[in-house]
C-alpha cells in the first residue's frame, strides 16, 4: 500500500486510536482519539483547548497513535503512526464535522464548538501489522519528509549458514537458500529468537523494536 492508503485505512476503517503524549515529567499519557480526516499532508483530529491533551500537544508537538481492527488478535490489522503535529486551527472544523456527523451529537451548535481546534499529524513514520495472514505481513513507511528508521533484525556477512536461526524462527521467514541468509522483513515478528541463537553473532538489531 502507498502512504496515503495507510492514512485512509486509519481514518475510514480503524478510526478510533489510542494516542500517546508525554506529560511535564516525561511520563506517557494515553487517551482515545478519533482520526477524522486525511489528505496528502497528513492525518487530522480535533480536541478541545481545555483538555490536558491539548496542552501536551502544544508543548511537545509530538504524537504517537495506534489503532486496531479485527474481532480477535488473530484476525487483527493494526496501524501505528508517530511523529510531529501542528495545530491547523478551527477553520478545519467544518470539514471534520461534515465527514464525521456523529460529532454533531457531542457538539451540537457553533457555540459548543468554540473551544475546539484541529491538529494535523504531518511528518513521521508508520508501521502496518497484519496478523490475519499467514505468514504475518508488516510494513514500515515514512511521510512528510521524515527519514525511514529501518528497524528490525538483519543478517550480516558473518553468517556461516548453519540454519539454526531458521529452526527457531516462528514465521520461517528467513531465506536460507543463500549466504548470508536473509530475513524477509515483511513477514518478521521482530521477536529476536534468531538474534539470540546465532552463535556466529551474525545478526544485528537496528533501533528500538
Ligand atoms: S544462525 Fe547465524 S550463522 Fe546460522 S544461518 Fe542464521 S544468521 Fe547465519
Ligand atoms: S526476529 Fe523472529 S520472526 Fe523475525 S526472523 Fe528472527 S526469529 Fe524470525
180: domain CATH number is: 3.30.70.20
Report whether residue 103 contacts ligand 2, using a CB cutoff of 6 Å.
no
Q: Which of 34, 29, 19, 17 is nearest to 68 (CA)?
A: 17
Which domain-ending residue is among 125, 143, 161? 143
- pLDDT of 89 reads 94
Are 77 and 114 within 8 A, CB to CB?
Answer: no
Q: Which residues have CB under 8 Å from 120's CB, separation 6+? A: 41, 42, 43, 44, 85, 86, 88
Q: How far apart are CA 133 and CA 148, in angstroms?
A: 25
Asked if residue 159 and residue 118 are part of one domain, the reply reads no
Asked if residue 87 and residue 47 are part of one domain, the reply reads yes
What is the distance in A from the centroid of ligand 1 to the CA of 164? Answer: 6
Asked if residue 202 and residue 157 are part of one domain, the reply reads yes
Q: Which of 85, 83, 90, 99 is nearest to 37 (CA)?
A: 99
**Taking the model in full, what pTM does it have?**
0.88
Report whether residue 203 contacts ligand 1, using a CB cutoff of 6 Å.
yes
Atom of ligand 1 lying closest to residue 166 CA? 6
- Is 148 domain-assigned? no
- pLDDT of 73 reads 86
Where in the sequence is the domain holding 168, given as residue range(s)?
A: 153-208
pLDDT per residue rounded down to tens, the chain (209 residues):
899 999 999 999 999 999 999 999 999 999 999 999 999 999 999 999 999 999 999 999 999 999 999 888 888 999 999 999 999 999 999 999 999 999 999 999 999 999 999 999 999 999 999 999 888 999 999 999 998 767 899 999 999 999 999 999 999 999 999 999 999 999 999 999 999 999 999 999 986 44
Cell readout for 192 is 529476536
Amino acid at each position: 500500500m502507498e502512504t496515503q492508503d495507510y492514512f485512509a485505512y486509519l481514518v475510514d476503517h480503524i478510526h478510533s486510536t489510542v494516542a500517546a503524549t508525554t506529560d511535564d515529567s516525561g511520563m506517557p499519557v494515553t487517551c482515545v482519539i478519533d482520526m477524522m480526516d486525511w489528505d496528502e499532508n497528513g492525518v487530522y483530529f480535533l480536541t478541545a483547548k481545555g483538555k490536558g491533551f491539548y496542552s501536551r500537544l502544544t508543548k511537545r508537538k509530538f504524537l504517537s497513535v495506534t489503532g486496531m481492527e479485527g474481532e480477535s488478535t488473530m484476525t487483527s490489522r493494526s496501524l501505528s503512526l508517530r511523529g510531529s503535529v501542528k495545530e491547523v486551527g478551527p477553520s478545519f472544523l467544518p470539514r471534520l464535522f461534515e465527514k464525521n456527523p456523529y460529532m454533531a451529537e457531542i457538539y451540537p451548535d457553533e457555540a459548543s464548538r468554540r473551544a475546539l481546534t484541529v491538529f494535523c499529524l504531518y511528518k513521521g513514520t508508520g508501521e502496518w501489522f497484519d496478523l490475519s495472514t499467514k505468514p504475518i505481513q508488516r510494513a514500515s513507511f515514512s511521510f512528510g519528509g521524515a527519514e525511514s528508521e529501518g528497524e528490525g533484525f538483519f543478517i550480516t556477512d558473518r553468517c556461516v549458514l548453519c540454519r539454526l536461526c531458521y529452526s527457531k524462527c516462528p514465521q520461517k521467514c528467513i531465506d536460507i537458500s543463500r549466504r548470508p541468509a536473509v530475513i524477509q522483513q515483511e513477514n518478521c515478528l521482530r521477536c529476536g529468537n534468531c538474534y539470540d541463537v546465532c552463535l556466529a553473532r551474525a545478526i544485528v538489531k537496528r533501533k528500538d523494536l
